[in-house]
């Protein structure tokens, strides 16, 4: 009996010695603070529900300084970018850091890129997660179905502006202005092309390639999913399966095509997760057979740490 117990303890000790360094102290301890930037109709948190569900605490657990900002739930990339820039300055003032690492999901990707473009001296890196870097076919369809100036567009804009205002109120956003039409135009293919002409840093010049890894001292990274339906219990998945039809068979996460998501150094654009899974939503109901989104954020923090960022 005693020998059996000793063998079991020895096996446990061996197993512990083989635990990946992903669980080591300091694994996520980047040189500069990490700032998480939400996407369209996003928020920092509403009550106990975080937009980046469980991600800030997981990053902080092994040393990262993490700040979750709140910009307009729906507005143009430039307006959101200016709001983000203001909050970046606040983070720098509070921490004494010289720069920040921006991680933006969905519309948060271009929003972070805007700040890096206009103030590269304040940004160490931009990580785009499911970022709408070359537009979304879903935005194109919405604008086509409800063209500007039509009654249907007026109704749609009124409803979505109201939703943005409600989200902003519930999350304590301080009355940020909402403009869902400006958001849709920014996220369209045409709007993204116009934005990229003014802010091209890290954007691939080929249809589905990689962009520059480093521009003006800012490192650029990206990753995204390519499986719209991933969990039977996630109420959002059927909607993402429907919106994925807008991409006519091209790889996508339900709202953004894999090619559009690519920016700078592409880590992967085909994880078996969807657009909401990318931030561990809905409340952690993600693909059980794919790497956890929380782990993906932790790995990226470690990647930044190893790059001296």
What is the set of active-site residues?
106, 253, 275
Pick from 294, 306, 308, 305: which is nearest to 129 by CA?
A: 294
Listed in sequence order, the DSSP H helices in the chain are 2-17, 55-61, 77-95, 108-118, 137-145, 151-170, 180-187, 189-198, 237-243, 258-261, 293-306
Going by the DSSP 8-state scheme, the letter that residue 252 receives in this structure is B
Question: Can you say whether the dihedral through the CA atoms of 251, 255, 261, 267 is positive or negative?
Answer: negative
- Number of other residues whose CB lies within 10 A of the CB of residue 265: 18
**Cβ 262 vs Cβ 205: under 8 Å:** no
Bridge partners (DSSP) listed for residue 146 = none
Pick from 86, 140, 77: which is nearest to 110 by CA?
A: 77
Residue 82: phi and psi, rounded to 5, are -65, -40
182 alpha carbon, distance to own chain's centre: 20
Burial group, residue 140, by CB count within 10 angstroms (0-12, 13-18, 19+): middle
Pick from 143, 99, 139: which is nearest to 275 by CA?
A: 139
């Amino acid at each position: 009996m005693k020998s059996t117990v000793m063998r079991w303890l020895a096996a446990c000790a061996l197993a512990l010695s083989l635990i990946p360094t992903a669980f080591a102290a300091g694994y996520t301890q980047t040189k500069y603070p990490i700032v998480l930037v939400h996407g369209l109709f996003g928020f920092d948190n509403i009550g106990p529900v975080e937009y980046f569900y469980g991600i800030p605490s997981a990053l902080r657990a092994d040393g990262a300084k993490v700040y979750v900002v709140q910009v307009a739930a729906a507005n143009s990339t430039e307006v959101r970018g200016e709001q983000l820039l203001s909050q970046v300055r606040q983070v720098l003032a509070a921490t004494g850091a010289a720069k920040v690492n921006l991680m933006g999901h969905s519309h948060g990707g271009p929003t972070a890129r805007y700040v890096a473009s206009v103030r590269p001296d304040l940004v160490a890196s931009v990580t785009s997660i499911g970022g709408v870097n070359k537009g979304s076919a879903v935005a194109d369809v919405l604008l086509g179905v409800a063209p500007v100036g039509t009654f249907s567009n007026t109704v749609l804009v009124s409803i979505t502006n109201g939703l943005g205002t409600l989200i902003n109120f519930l999350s304590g956003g301080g009355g940020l202005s909402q403009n869902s039409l400006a958001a849709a135009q920014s996220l369209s293919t045409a709007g993204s092309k116009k934005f990229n002409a003014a802010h091209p840093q890290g954007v691939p010049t080929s249809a589905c390639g990689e962009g520059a890894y480093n521009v003006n001292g800012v490192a650029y990274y990206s990753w995204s999913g390519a499986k719209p339906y991933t969990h039977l219990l996630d109420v959002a998945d059927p909607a993402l399966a429907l919106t994925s039809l807008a991409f006519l068979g091209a790889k996508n996460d339900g709202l953004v095509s894999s090619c559009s998501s690519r920016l700078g150094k592409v880590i992967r654009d085909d994880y078996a997760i969807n657009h909401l899974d990318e931030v561990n939503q809905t409340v952690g109901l993600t693909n059980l057979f794919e790497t956890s989104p929380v782990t993906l954020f932790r790995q990226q923090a470690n990647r930044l740490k190893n790059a001296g960022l």
